[in-house]
A and B are shown apart, each in its own frame.
Chain A
Amino acid sequence: MSALQYSEDDREIVFIRRRPYGQWVVAALLIAVLASMAWSLWTNPRLERGVIAQYLFSEQILKGVLLTLELTAITFVIGVLLGLVLAVMSRSANPVLRGVSWGYTWVFRAVPPLVQLILWAFLAALYPRLELGIPFTDITLLSADTNQVMKPFVAAIIGFSLIEAAYQAEVFRAGLLSVPTAQSEAAQAIGYSRWQAFTRIILPQAMPALVPPSSNNLITLLKGTSLVSVIGATELLTSVQHIYSQTYQIIPLLFVASIWYLVMTSLLMIGQRRLERYYARGRLAVGGEQH
Chain B
Amino acid sequence: MNATVLNTSAQAPSEAANDRFVELRGVTKSFGQLQILGGVDLTVRKGEVVAIIGPSGSGKSTLLRCINQLVRVDGGRIWVDGELMGYRQQGNRLYPLKAHEVLKQRTEVGMVFQSFNLFPHMTVLENVSDPPNVIKGVPKAAARATAERLLSEVGLLEKASAYPASLSGGQQQRVAIARALAMDPKVMLFDEPTSALDPELVGDVLDTMRKLAQSGMTMLVVSHEIRFVKEAADRVVFMADGGIVEQGRPDIVLANPSHERTKRFLGRLL
With known contacts A193-B100, A287-B161, A201–B166 Cβ distance under 8 A = no
CB-defined contacts of A183 to chain B, threshold 8 Å: 117, 119
**How many chain A residues touch B (Cβ–Cβ < 8 Å)?**
25
Contact across chains for A284 and B163 when beta carbons are under 8 A apart: yes
| Cβ distance A289 to chain B, nearest Cβ, rounded Å | 9
**How many chain B residues touch A (Cβ–Cβ < 8 Å)?**
31
Chain A 176-200 per-residue mask, 1 if CB under 8 angstroms from chain B, else 0: 0000001101111111111010001
Complex Cα distance A200/B122, Å? 10
Residue A50, interface by CB 8 Å: no
Residue A204, interface by CB 8 Å: yes
Residue B179, interface by CB 8 Å: yes
Residue A285, interface by CB 8 Å: yes
Which segment of B106-114, B144-152, B213-221 sits at the interface? B106-114
Contact across chains for A287 and B123 when beta carbons are under 8 A apart: yes
Complex Cα distance A285/B165, Å? 6
Select one of A182, A281, A287 contacting B115, CB under 8 A. A182
Complex Cα distance A201/B179, Å? 14
Contact across chains for A190 and B163 when beta carbons are under 8 A apart: no
Residues from 74 to 128 in B contacting A, C-beta threshold 8 Å: 99-100, 103-104, 106-107, 111, 113, 115, 117-123
Residue A37, interface by CB 8 Å: no
CB-defined contacts of A194 to chain B, threshold 8 Å: 99
Contact across chains for A188 and B70 when beta carbons are under 8 A apart: yes
Complex Cα distance A196/B165, Å? 23
Residue A282, interface by CB 8 Å: yes
CB-defined contacts of A201 to chain B, threshold 8 Å: 119
Contact across chains for B164 and A282 when beta carbons are under 8 A apart: yes
Chain B 130-174 per-residue mask, 1 if CB under 8 angstroms from chain A, else 0: 110011000000000000000000000000011111100000000
Select one of B99, B121, B166, B183 contacting A190, CB under 8 A. B183
| Cβ distance B232 to chain A, nearest Cβ, rounded Å | 23
Chain A 156-194 per-residue mask, 1 if CB under 8 angstroms from chain B, else 0: 000000000000000000000000001101111111111
Which residues of A are interface residues toward B (Cβ below 8 A)?
A: 182-183, 185-194, 196, 200-201, 204-205, 279, 281-287
